[in-house]
Structure 1
Amino acid sequence: MTAVAITGFGIVSAAGADRQSFARSLFEGHSAVGDVALPRSFGHRAFRAAQIAELPARAAEMAGHGRAYDRFSVLALLAAEEAIAAARLDEDDLANGRTSVLIGSGIGGATAIDDSHYGLYVENRRPDPLTIPRLMANAAAALLSRRWGCRGTVLAIASACASSTQAIGLGMGLIRSGLADRVLVGGAEASLTPAALQSWQAMRVLTSTHCRPFSARRDGMVLGEGAAVFVLESEEAAGRRGAPLVAHLLGYGTAADAGDIIRPDPAGAAAAMHAALADAGLSPREINHVNAHGTGTRLNDAAEAEALESVFGPLVSRVPLSATKPIHGHTLGASGAIELAATVIALQQGLAPGTLGFDEAPGDFRLSVSASNQPIAGPIGLSNSFAFGGVNASLIVAVPSVALPTVSS
């Protein structure tokens, strides 16, 4: 299939408010996990997550009307602003029917939902008239469309932790089919609310210590918030304007377990990876780096390890693998986009970021988990996202042979 150009991307997360600061956190092993500041509490439990400490003062002004947009939409806008600047696009490039917007989010306007329910049930307060526009799942995609006049397909993807990976894959499809010249794709999530944190705790999947993907002592995940947005363009559209080439998206695969809504099935994850490889026309031996979904939960990591071993066979012990959630937290619907950004950065630098907290793998895992930064021997990477509901999605990306300047340590 036809490769699709990535001409720019942007990130906002607790681990860095732009590409460069995010890259430094990845390679220097700076975790953004800390105590969560909540607007109100329920009970006496203190939560830890990767929470963005402070948004730029211009964020509300960028959105137009501060109370009209939920936090997840503002994060998407900030990431898109960086992506568009990096792609060297102007208003005229975007304001047309050939530009589409696809943004994934597992929950959407979680802050608006939590605030409105608290106001109604606890404070007996009339809901804000703008509550629905804030909380709707397509609010972020609609905001980006409005901000830059994008009049093509505008779509929200909600498939839990695979949301933004599927958004990116579908964006590739729009360009390949000729339905768009360029697409703003990615994901955004801001669900660190009192009710959401209590609900995750009730599932008993949050770590009581540290997130340790693929480690024998792993005991759960740590949540986060953030957004990442990519500019995808057809080769023709990018070439016409002399666009910078950051990377190529080569393949996308998705598959459903059609089984348990929570317990992952290794066969479904393996099917998504096989589909991405087939789409890219590649064999497993041509993959130089894997960014794993790697939540740090016992079931997810075991299922992903089994799936990777099924796909790669004996090669699995030689492909450098990173799991970056201990740095930026599990950003749910935004995780696929943020981790694709981490994959691109890793390939650009020729280094697989160390998996923070990794110590000793279980005896039956044959993965080459990067305990510290380790070299990558080529330009092609695989990024995985596996979600509740049995949704699995994988992307394959390649950087140009000449890497960008290295990140200073």
Structure 2
Amino acid sequence: MRRVVITGAGTVNALAQDVVGTFAAFANGRCAIGPLDVPDVERLTIRIGAQVQGWQPEVHFSRGELGLFDRFTQFAVYAARQAVAQSGLVFQGDLALEAGVVLGTAGGGLITQDESFRAVYAEGKNRVHPFVVPRLMHNAAASHVSMAFGLQGPSFTVSTACASSNHAMGQAFHLVQSGAARVMVTGGSEAMLSFGGIKAWEGLRVMSKDGCRPFCATRNGMVQGEGAAVFVFEDRDHAVARGAEILAEVVGFAMTSDASDIVMPSEAGAARAIAGALRDAKLAPGDVGYINAHGTGTAANDRTECAAIMRVFGADTDGLMVSSTKAAHGHIIGGTGAVELLACIMALRDGVIAPTVGYVAADPDCPLDVVPNEARQARVAVALSNAFAFGGMNAVLALRRG
């Protein structure tokens, strides 16, 4: 079994449009949640979100590309460009045949879908853009990334709600680890901040009107975000042979199903995924210094996740830091695990733990060190990234300092 390392990273999210800016925002405890700017916002009950501000797609893409790219595809391709550039890889010859892409998304081209429905139903038009189907299909981003870099190996999309990115990156890890691919471009992307997308989430009554406060006694719901993060996962021997910079090593992955409820999280299912990732990585709980939690800011999720962590780690969690960066960049749904993996890389490489911003008061149901409000300097050797989705889909990645 091959060892798998990360040699490139890229992102577009509400905090910044690159990795360096995102790390700086994490370190400064910045929050990117603010008033929404979408059509018909006055008809929404929820009017806050973490939108990517100042995004200029016409600067990054040709007119022809913009005709084919939904917003979620734009984010993914731009983040992939950053990741591949940092990796220094050129996909030619055999490497192109042994490299692929697997991305996660929950909604796919939801902006395209929303705009098309508006045109047909609200504006009475009888024709839509000829490329509506290729724009809205879930595999659009993965397909365009594969075409942008000539990746001719395994390429596909994973859609498991809020665990989509972690499932995608877990599959990429397995493909490289098994030797089925030498390099995989992987991560996730989401652009769900449209009138229809937000209105659908309003119906679940899990959204906050005033902010995301994971693990806090005053928490009252999640806040949606948008964006993407993409990484280059590479066979370690291949990376070392070419002198590549290693950002971190992916050492374990596990996925479980609650098989119990479509929306309520399960402590047992989450705990089995956390324990499974440790087992796959051949690590003990005491080896872990940081967990980037799913931490949505809802009452049920945060309480259940803390219980699951304590079930695996035992009553003694001294020295274990757990934070949720969703309070900063919002819940990016299918892309959230990818953006959150950046916080794990920052912890491992730079020794900076991203905080849980917006924290006000301790909740006895969440008795962990949640790194409230201010980033912390700490040397960390191993980090976990949790993702627990509606439908009981759980996926946990384990990373080690490279």
Q: CA deviation at 1:352?
A: 1.5
Q: CA deviation at 1:22?
A: 0.4
* Residue segments in structure 1 that go unaligned for 5+ positions in a row: 401-409
Question: What one-letter code is carried by the residue in structure 2 that aligns with 1:327?
Answer: A
Once residues 296 and 48 of structure 2 are traced to their aligned partners in structure 1, the CA distance between those partners, rounded to angstroms, is: 15
Q: CA deviation at 1:116?
A: 1.0
Counterpart for residue 386 of structure 2: 384
Once residues 220 and 93 of structure 2 are traced to their aligned partners in structure 1, the CA distance between those partners, rounded to angstroms, is: 48
Q: CA deviation at 1:128?
A: 1.4
The 5-angstrom pairing of residues 197-346 of structure 1 reads 197-346=198-347
Counterpart for residue 28 of structure 1: 28
Residue 311 of structure 2: SS of its match in structure 1?
helix
Asked whether the 8 Å contact 1:31–1:328 carries over to 2, the reply is yes
Counterpart for residue 17 of structure 1: 17
Asked whether the 8 Å contact 2:58–2:66 carries over to 1, the reply is no
Q: CA deviation at 1:345?
A: 1.0
Once residues 139 and 354 of structure 2 are traced to their aligned partners in structure 1, the CA distance between those partners, rounded to angstroms, is: 33
The 5-angstrom pairing of residues 169-208 of structure 1 reads 169-208=170-209
* Residue segments in structure 2 that go unaligned for 5+ positions in a row: none
Residue 315 of structure 1: SS of its match in structure 2?
coil
Q: In the superposition, relative to structure 1, how do residues 198 and 69 fare at CA in structure 2: closer, same or farther (>3 Å)?
A: same
Once residues 320 and 142 of structure 2 are traced to their aligned partners in structure 1, the CA distance between those partners, rounded to angstroms, is: 35
1:118 paired with 2:118, answer yes
Counterpart for residue 5 of structure 1: 5
Once residues 349 and 229 of structure 2 are traced to their aligned partners in structure 1, the CA distance between those partners, rounded to angstroms, is: 17
Cα-to-partner distance string for 1:74-126 (whole Å, 9 max, x where unaligned): 10011001101111122437972101100000110000110111111112221
Once residues 113 and 395 of structure 1 are traced to their aligned partners in structure 2, the CA distance between those partners, rounded to angstroms, is: 32
Asked whether the 8 Å contact 2:41–2:47 carries over to 1, the reply is no
Counterpart for residue 374 of structure 1: 376
Counterpart for residue 90 of structure 2: 90
The normalised TM-score by structure 1 is 0.94
Q: In the superposition, relative to structure 1, how do residues 141 and 63 fare at CA in structure 2: closer, same or farther (>3 Å)?
A: farther
Q: CA deviation at 1:11?
A: 1.0
Question: What one-letter code is carried by the residue in structure 2 that aligns with 1:43?
Answer: R
Counterpart for residue 81 of structure 2: 81
1:397 paired with 2:373, answer no
Question: What one-letter code is carried by the residue in structure 1 that aligns with 2:111?
Answer: T
Counterpart for residue 128 of structure 1: 129
Q: In the superposition, relative to structure 1, how do residues 220 and 94 fare at CA in structure 2: closer, same or farther (>3 Å)?
A: farther
Q: In the superposition, relative to structure 1, how do residues 69 and 310 fare at CA in structure 2: closer, same or farther (>3 Å)?
A: same
Question: What one-letter code is carried by the residue in structure 2 that aligns with 1:117?
Answer: F
Asked whether the 8 Å contact 2:253–2:276 carries over to 1, the reply is yes
Q: In the superposition, relative to structure 1, how do residues 382 and 128 fare at CA in structure 2: closer, same or farther (>3 Å)?
A: same
The normalised TM-score by structure 2 is 0.96
Q: In the superposition, relative to structure 1, how do residues 293 and 273 fare at CA in structure 2: closer, same or farther (>3 Å)?
A: same
Asked whether the 8 Å contact 1:385–1:393 carries over to 2, the reply is yes
Q: In the superposition, relative to structure 1, how do residues 137 and 259 fare at CA in structure 2: closer, same or farther (>3 Å)?
A: same
Asked whether the 8 Å contact 2:348–2:379 carries over to 1, the reply is no
Residue 162 of structure 1: SS of its match in structure 2?
helix
Counterpart for residue 67 of structure 2: 67
Once residues 225 and 336 of structure 1 are traced to their aligned partners in structure 2, the CA distance between those partners, rounded to angstroms, is: 12
Once residues 63 and 245 of structure 1 are traced to their aligned partners in structure 2, the CA distance between those partners, rounded to angstroms, is: 35
Between 331-340 and 199-208, report the one with greater CA deviation.
Answer: 199-208
Cα-to-partner distance string for 1:326-353 (whole Å, 9 max, x where unaligned): 1111000001111011111122221212
Once residues 386 and 357 of structure 2 are traced to their aligned partners in structure 1, the CA distance between those partners, rounded to angstroms, is: 18
Q: In the superposition, relative to structure 1, how do residues 254 and 57 fare at CA in structure 2: closer, same or farther (>3 Å)?
A: closer
Residue 250 of structure 1: SS of its match in structure 2?
strand
Asked whether the 8 Å contact 1:272–1:394 carries over to 2, the reply is yes
4+ residue segments displaced more than 6 Å: none
Residue 161 of structure 1: SS of its match in structure 2?
helix
| RMSD across aligned positions (CA) | 1.7
Q: CA deviation at 1:243?
A: 1.5
Question: What one-letter code is carried by the residue in structure 1 that aligns with 2:313?
Answer: F
Q: CA deviation at 1:376?
A: 2.6
Question: What one-letter code is carried by the residue in structure 1 that aligns with 2:16?
Answer: G
Once residues 357 and 399 of structure 2 are traced to their aligned partners in structure 1, the CA distance between those partners, rounded to angstroms, is: 23
Q: In the superposition, relative to structure 1, how do residues 22 and 29 fare at CA in structure 2: closer, same or farther (>3 Å)?
A: same
Q: In the superposition, relative to structure 1, how do residues 62 and 188 fare at CA in structure 2: closer, same or farther (>3 Å)?
A: farther
Between 227-236 and 349-358, report the one with greater CA deviation.
Answer: 349-358
How many residue pairs end up in the alignment? 400
Between 229-238 and 100-109, report the one with greater CA deviation.
Answer: 229-238
Residue 183 of structure 1: SS of its match in structure 2?
strand
Question: What one-letter code is carried by the residue in structure 1 that aligns with 2:25?
Answer: S
Between 97-106 and 84-93, report the one with greater CA deviation.
Answer: 84-93
Asked whether the 8 Å contact 1:320–1:374 carries over to 2, the reply is no
Residue 207 of structure 1: SS of its match in structure 2?
coil
Cα-to-partner distance string for 1:256-299 (whole Å, 9 max, x where unaligned): 00111100001000011111001100010000111101000001
Counterpart for residue 107 of structure 1: 107
Q: In the superposition, relative to structure 1, how do residues 192 and 88 fare at CA in structure 2: closer, same or farther (>3 Å)?
A: same
Once residues 35 and 290 of structure 1 are traced to their aligned partners in structure 2, the CA distance between those partners, rounded to angstroms, is: 29
Question: What one-letter code is carried by the residue in structure 2 that aligns with 1:248?
Answer: E
Once residues 199 and 386 of structure 2 are traced to their aligned partners in structure 1, the CA distance between those partners, rounded to angstroms, is: 27
Q: In the superposition, relative to structure 1, how do residues 21 and 94 fare at CA in structure 2: closer, same or farther (>3 Å)?
A: farther
Q: CA deviation at 1:46?
A: 6.0
Asked whether the 8 Å contact 2:102–2:156 carries over to 1, the reply is yes
Identity of aligned residues (%): 38
1:157 paired with 2:162, answer no
